[in-house]
Amino acid sequence: MSERPISWMTLSKGTPVVASDGEEIGKVGSVVADEEKDIFSGLSITAGLFDKDRFVPAELVSTMTVDEVRVSLSSQEAEALEPYED
């Protein structure tokens, strides 16, 4: 397991997203950013086949590695995230 932080520009779709309590809350659906201006806005996460993607603002992303994304929300708080509208 790699603990080295990575850039949002190299984050892969499908990377597990883990809450502050250690519970996996979904997988990266997409990175929301303005690449031309180098501005990272956040992530959309997919929790299951029938769930809508949810938006995690950049300020709630604690760390990103090749193996996982950690957020500063508990799994219960993550349930209240806004749906992601592309």
pLDDT tens for 18-33 read 999 999 999 999 999 9
**Of 62, 30, 59, 34, residue with least CA distance to 44:** 30
- What is the value of pTM for the model shown? 0.91
Count the Cβ atoms, other than its own, within 10 Å of residue 18.
20
Contact 53, 29 (CB under 8 A): yes
pLDDT band for 1, please (50, 70, 90 cuts): low
pLDDT digits (tens, 9 = 90+) for 44-85: 999 876 678 999 999 999 999 999 999 999 999 998 999 998
Top-level class of domain 8-78: alpha beta
